[in-house]
Amino acid sequence: MTTTVTPSTRNGVDTATLFATLDAVKAAPEAAAFQFRASNQWLTGTHSRSTIHGFFGVGEERTHERTFTFDADHPAILVGHDNGPTPIEYVLHALATCLTAGLANIAAARGIRLTEVKSTVSGDIDLNGILGLDPDVRNGYQNIAVHFTVKGDASPEKLRGLVEQSRKRSAVYDILTSNVPVTIDITTD
């Protein structure tokens, strides 16, 4: 007698848990309401440090297994001390990691084994905007270009389809390409 075992883990993704999670959210859509947070402390000049630890999801307050801290700064050419990447470089990292995580999940769900996924993300910005020197120049990136290299046991067409489906379901791609309402309030005492 031969037993065929369907492996539950593919590309490091536990597909049984992935599908169970989808079923659980289908049954209780309110479980999908999440809130993510970062707390920041100014250090000096353009240097500040953020802490990421708690979040809300699946009906309750949760925490990451560790407390993550990240510094941002400007390089010397932008009058900082280079204690970390610039804030807008973190956005490029966020886009790359979001598209890549989705791609691995989608490949696992489609039964495709990945052997390599690499990407580079570049953003062009004209600092005449943030420096207030040209009112016709926007403050942020004028465009962002992503280049993916994807290898695995599927046709080039199917591998390309993974990136396309990940783009369609990417939270970071969405917030860069469609406006998000941002509110700011301030305490001074």
Of these, 110, 111, 116, 135, which contacts a copy of itself (CB under 8 A)? 116
Q: Contacts with a copy of itself in 168-187 (CB under 8 A)?
A: 169-187
Length of the chain: 189
**Is 32 a residue that touches a copy of itself (CB under 8 A)?**
yes
167, 131 contact by CB (below 8 A):
no
Q: Which of 150, 41, 142 is nearest to 106 (CA)?
A: 150
Q: Which amino acid is at 136?
A: D
Q: Which is nearer to a copy of itself, 4 or 181 (CB)?
A: 181
Alpha carbon distance 97, 53 (integer Å): 18
Residues 151-170 that bind a copy of itself (CB under 8 A): 151, 156, 159-160, 163, 167, 169-170
Q: Is 110 near a copy of itself (CB under 8 A)?
A: no
Site string for a copy of itself, 33-72 (x = CB under 8 A): xxxxxxxxxxxxxxxx-x-x--x-xx---x-xxx-x-x-x
- Is residue 144 within 8 Å of 121, Cβ to Cβ? yes
Contacting a copy of itself (CB under 8 A), which of 111, 113, 122, 153?
122
Q: Is 88 in the site for a copy of itself (CB under 8 A)?
A: yes
Contact 80, 74 (CB under 8 A): yes
Least CB distance to a copy of itself at residue 5 (A) = 20
Distance of closest approach, residue 53 Cβ to a copy of itself, in angstroms: 9
Contact flag: residue 28 with a copy of itself (CB under 8 A)? no
8 is an interface residue for a copy of itself by CB under 8 A = no
Q: Is the backbone of residue 87 left (phi > 0), alpha (psi -120 to 50) or beta?
A: alpha
Residues 6 or more apart whose CB falls under 8 angstroms from that of 91 comprise 123, 141, 172, 176
